[in-house]
Structure 1
Amino acid sequence: MSSRPPAQEVPAASDPVRRLSRRRLLRHTLAGAGALLAAGPLSGCASPASASGASALSVWDLFQGGDGMLMDDMIGAVARGPEGFDVDRTILDWGPSYYTKLAMSAAGGRASDVAAMHLSRLAGYAPGGLVDPIDLDLLAEFGVTGEDFTPAVWRRTQHEGTVYAIPLDVHPFIVFYDKEAADTAGLLDSSGELAPMGSPEALLDAGKALAEATGEAGILFGHVTDTSQNWRLFAALYAQTGAAFTLPEGGPARIDIDAAVRVVTFMRQLFDGRTNPNDLDYNGALAAFTTGRGGMALLGEWELPTLKKSGVPLGAASFPQVFDKPAVYTDSHSFVLPHQDDPDPQRRREAHRYIAEMLKQSLTWATAGHIPAYRPVLAEPGYAALEPQSSYADAATVAVLDPPNWFTGAGSNFHNRMHQPLQSALLGNTTPEKAVRQMVREADALLRQPNPVA
């Protein structure tokens, strides 16, 4: 594996019929960059590595820190295999730098051989031809088929029946808890794991019991000034009601107002500012949990490495079902084939082989908390031995991603537009009814904007 600094320039588009014009794409990506800058970083994604010979398989991703080192380990393992790879890895910053450059390189038709993409962003790339289809027959030659993934995630790899992405992981919004506090509060089952909740009242009672057990807060949730946290919590609970949230092209948004109000009302009851604080920012909630000032925290699984270092007797579980059906808000880091004008068949074959081999290394990826999307790895004894990761593996079977549209997905302005009215409701500055009406107006405003990659 070689290393070089992140790419700074990308080729211009050469075929205005098949792809966006460079001018049009620039207008779109610069506007999107501004929106994404406002959205802020997503924890767990992101940096440095890559320079090599022309024959190397070029790979772009956005993994920094601990995730970046694990990705290095996985690439190293496949590179050293019996039929190894010469991999040229480029790592770009999460957010505008990554998705803008990925779109620009694909519009130029001479992008990397493989790239990482959040599955929730696929609807903004596949319709405009910015990613090329996956050859499922070719992938099957290397031992990977659609049956190897949970239907909840596999559905989102497709656009108009064609598969454009292969999931590496599922990274859900879950609960972490202090096992000693949860035991004192009577919340553990006979195996020492968090018992099912089953109703909104049960989660409210759990918060009170945890507050009494810790002598501090019950349930911690950092949302103030964070652009995604409120949406993650709302989306999980709303999906549990069984209601649909859809964003058809041209609008209007289709949302069950009564179900949404029910959810926001419950969010306000849960974070009442007494038993469970309602005004914490993300880092404040994280710090409170790691220093024993709360019994449970609502966070993404990507915080597992940080929490393990805290010394808290740590447990974790899928987001509790409290409404009518199980559902957990998630996203997925996936592999895509950025559009190339005239891909070399042998390099495309190697790209598919690389994706398959990386999936088979995803037990390494799971050590950071991510759930392997490739189910054969979930069946390995090594995964069952991972604690607390194996405690929330079932989240992948009830995964709920953002409603698909070009403006939704990880780091998008959609999260921010949904977050603002929800934050206002939690802080007591507006009613649940008004917050939901504002969410609908925001969604409709986005739907009125033309899709720049259509």
Structure 2
Amino acid sequence: MTQRSSRSVAGRRSPRVSRRSLLQGLGGIGALGATGGLAACGSAGAQGVGDLAYWHLLSGPDGVTMTELVDGYTATDGAPGVKQTVLAWGAPYYTKLAMASSGGRAPDLAVMHAARVPGYAPGGLLDEWDLDLLGEFGVKKEDFPELIWDKMVVDDKLTCIALDSHPFVLYYNTDIADAAGVLGSDGLLLPTDTPEDFRELALELGAKSPSGYGLSWGYLGDGSNQWRMFSTYYTQLGGTIELPEGGTMQYQEELVVQTAEWILSLIDGEVGNPGNDGGTAISEFATGSTGAFYGGVWESGSYRNEGVPFDMTVIPGVFGEPAAYADSHSFVLPHQSSPDDTKRRAVHEMVAYLLKNSISWAGAGHIPAYSPVVQDPAYAKLIPQSHYADAIDHLVYDPPAWFTGSGSDFHTYFGNDMQNVWARRTSPLEGWNAFVARINDLLAKPSPM
């Protein structure tokens, strides 16, 4: 599906795409070969600049919000038009983007998960952002949290610009928590800083939950969600992972075992359901059957729409400092052998606009990466978003490699080999060693990028 709108010769703009029609259109996009786009209004013809080609993987409510943001930019004086192309999330999107960059058909702007960027940048598939040019439009290094900025730089080059971070967090049902007596005078979940205290809190939630379970976590068939949980607690324990190309995976075995045993204690049939998939865990919390839920911030919109009484918090640091597994939707410049300077300037201006107006992006649960937005009093009024905003100080991204990041083989292989651990069909080390063997095979291979 391709829809384009532009100002007429008389200066009038064609009707804005409605939220309903946009959602219907997005539902028809998903195949790898989808080449249709959604175009925002603009004045490119008047300014002598062709439409900016913009690829991303944002559909559903996120796609609606992004289009509204793009429409806001193209409505500014002198802005060019923007032709959006929405592609299927995951491997198809990244494959098509790589092919476009290497084949001379790259768009002017694209969205990637930040953890996928290290696999693309060294292969010359991405161009560097001009920090001086961003500065002209009011965006500078100091506007980003340190953990996010570090992820934006690859080989000393500013390779991506983060729009947000979307961490793994803890949701809790405020009615159940209140009945269990685990809310403080401020109405927030009582802090816990030891495994014993957290387990006791979960049991108290379970005692007031219809299912009898205090926690919901879905892992069956979901390698990414398994990795989010593992990475969060492994990092809390002080664990690190390094993936040297041509070498072997480096990690702390004793912390791997400790992390696995802790997770098993949370799905023991007493604290939490021992056999949930993602959909079941989401449903348990949505129907008020459990007191708390481990999940990504992107679930918050659905719970809010369903009228669930809930709040959210960074996963408590029961082993030390809190940690929040995360990734970031980020803007990248797919490589062009002869980029148009005027278009490149317009892209920098557009991204600056999107960053500065990203409080609307926070509505879906994402934490804006542009700090002035989070520091604005308007953000403090967003509930529950402002209650987990401190996650930006505890973000944990995937270890850099060409095969890591959201929707990657790294997550898939982890799920394949560790699912039997959570199901108690094999030991933590047996599952982990099988995973490590697969990763070592990937490390022995050159990046296909």
TM-score, normalised to structure 1, is 0.87
Match of 1:408 in 2: 404
Name the CA distance, whole Å, in 2 between partners of 1:313 and 1:344: 51
Indicate if the aligned counterparts of 1:50 and 1:88 stay in contact, CA closer than 8 A: yes
Match of 1:366 in 2: 362
Indicate if the aligned counterparts of 1:257 and 1:436 stay in contact, CA closer than 8 A: no
Name the CA distance, whole Å, in 1 between partners of 2:301 and 2:321: 30
CA offsets, 1:278-324, max 9 Å, x none? 21111111111111111101010001111112222111111221112
The alignment status of 1:200 with 2:189, answered yes or no, reads: no
Name the CA distance, whole Å, in 1 between partners of 2:354 and 2:217: 34
The farther-off stretch of 129-138 and 427-436 is 427-436
The alignment status of 1:228 with 2:229, answered yes or no, reads: no
The alignment status of 1:246 with 2:242, answered yes or no, reads: yes
Match of 2:279 in 1: 283
State the shift of 1:48 in Å: 6.5
Match of 1:172 in 2: 167
Superposed counterparts of 1:48-447, under 5 Å: 49-50=38-39, 55-216=50-211, 217-447=213-443
State the shift of 1:402 in Å: 0.5
The alignment status of 1:450 with 2:446, answered yes or no, reads: yes
Indicate if the aligned counterparts of 1:48 and 1:68 stay in contact, CA closer than 8 A: no
**CA, structure 1 residues 443+275, in 2 after alignment: closer, same or farther (shift >3 Å)?**
same
Q: Structure 2 unaligned runs (5+)?
A: 5-29, 31-35
State the shift of 1:422 in Å: 2.4
Match of 1:33 in 2: none
The farther-off stretch of 435-444 and 260-269 is 435-444
Match of 2:15 in 1: none
Name the CA distance, whole Å, in 1 between partners of 2:182 and 2:429: 32
What secondary structure is seen at the aligned counterpart in 1 of 2:172?
A: strand
State the shift of 1:378 in Å: 0.4
Indicate if the aligned counterparts of 2:227 and 2:414 stay in contact, CA closer than 8 A: yes
What secondary structure is seen at the aligned counterpart in 1 of 2:336?
A: coil
State the shift of 1:93 in Å: 1.2
Name the CA distance, whole Å, in 2 between partners of 1:304 and 1:265: 29
Q: How many residues align?
A: 411
TM-score, normalised to structure 2, is 0.88
Name the CA distance, whole Å, in 2 between partners of 1:3 and 1:401: 36
State the shift of 1:186 in Å: 2.7
What secondary structure is seen at the aligned counterpart in 2 of 1:194?
A: coil
Name the CA distance, whole Å, in 2 between partners of 1:364 and 1:309: 16
Indicate if the aligned counterparts of 1:228 and 1:419 stay in contact, CA closer than 8 A: yes
What secondary structure is seen at the aligned counterpart in 2 of 1:255?
A: coil
Counterpart residue identity of residue 111, structure 2: A
**CA, structure 1 residues 67+48, in 2 after alignment: closer, same or farther (shift >3 Å)?**
farther
Name the CA distance, whole Å, in 1 between partners of 2:89 and 2:448: 21
Indicate if the aligned counterparts of 1:291 and 1:310 stay in contact, CA closer than 8 A: no
Name the CA distance, whole Å, in 2 between partners of 1:431 and 1:310: 39
Name the CA distance, whole Å, in 2 between partners of 1:196 and 1:51: 46
Name the CA distance, whole Å, in 2 between partners of 1:118 and 1:358: 17
The farther-off stretch of 195-204 and 131-140 is 195-204
- Please provide the CA RMSD for this pair: 1.7
**CA, structure 1 residues 375+427, in 2 after alignment: closer, same or farther (shift >3 Å)?**
same
Name the CA distance, whole Å, in 1 between partners of 2:75 and 2:38: 18
Indicate if the aligned counterparts of 1:138 and 1:349 stay in contact, CA closer than 8 A: yes
Name the CA distance, whole Å, in 2 between partners of 1:3 and 1:242: 50
CA offsets, 1:392-448, max 9 Å, x none? 111112111100000001101110111223221111111122222223222212212
Counterpart residue identity of residue 328, structure 2: S
Name the CA distance, whole Å, in 2 between partners of 1:215 and 1:293: 5
What secondary structure is seen at the aligned counterpart in 2 of 1:173?
A: strand
Name the CA distance, whole Å, in 1 between partners of 2:236 and 2:101: 37
Name the CA distance, whole Å, in 2 between partners of 1:3 and 1:114: 18
What secondary structure is seen at the aligned counterpart in 2 of 1:253?
A: coil
Name the CA distance, whole Å, in 2 between partners of 1:438 and 1:205: 33
Indicate if the aligned counterparts of 1:264 and 1:422 stay in contact, CA closer than 8 A: no
Name the CA distance, whole Å, in 2 between partners of 1:215 and 1:94: 36
Counterpart residue identity of residue 266, structure 1: W
State the shift of 1:96 in Å: 2.7
Indicate if the aligned counterparts of 1:424 and 1:430 stay in contact, CA closer than 8 A: yes
Q: Structure 1 unaligned runs (5+)?
A: 5-40, 42-46
CA offsets, 1:32-61, max 9 Å, x none? xxxxxxxxx9xxxxx962499771111111
Name the CA distance, whole Å, in 2 between partners of 1:280 and 1:450: 37
The farther-off stretch of 289-298 and 77-86 is 77-86
